Structure 1
Amino acid sequence: MMTSLFAKLDALSNFHYTPKPRGPELKIISNLPAVTVEEVAPTAVSDLTLLAPEEVKARPKGEVKSNTEKTNTDRKRDRRQKKLKQRQRKLDRESREKAVAKLNPGLGNKYSKIEALKKLKHVKDVTVLEDPSFFS
């Protein structure tokens, strides 16, 4: 009897039931921590607490390993990257110094020595030493 009852109920619901059309779902997402929403007293919250860790700082590629876990290849790769960054910083610094030296020759750079010597030769009470080791 139960089987026939369930068969009849299934037939009724399957043949005559039409569900309502699905409307667009509206989902409200507040970008606030749950503790801030629940607290009554106002607190100072920075925007950094609202961001995920991946949004604050980019995640390094590959696996994160400690120094004891790294293989010889990993250590050599890290050393090459470190040296490349150091070389790039040195080249950037030198190019900035050259640009400043060309624009402002009297600011204590290597070009200012040449300009200072030229100016000293025109002064009467100054003797200029021509020893090259003195100026280097």
Structure 2
Amino acid sequence: MKKKHLITWDTAFEVGIASIDSQHRTLINYINELAYTIDNRKIKTEVSTLFIKLYEYTKFHFKAEEAYFFTLNENDCLLHQLQHKHFIEELDRLIALNENETCSQEQLYLLTDWLLNHIQEEDLKFLQQHKP
């Protein structure tokens, strides 16, 4: 079966910082992998493993992004950190309920929507307000 992408990388997702853009691209790759696995009704352990990879990489990315943003504007970075914290809490909730093993398309779409909106709205807004 041909691999279907939920999200195709687009320059609209770029924020203009190479390391952050690369990390965003990796997050999108993880989302696409997870979507493919869910679409093809793979076993729970595969879905869970990919979900945990996405979760761990998201935490890594948020930490790296926050460190960079902190150098630009410490006060505004605190709000950005709070947005990240809420997203991680949602992922934590899914894991606590073992929903990471049976992640549905709907859950994946909600997480994807949040992430893409965050990149295109919040990350870009922050960087435009605090040009490096």
TM-score normalised by the chain length of structure 2: 0.27
Larger Rg: 1
**Structure with higher helix content:** 2
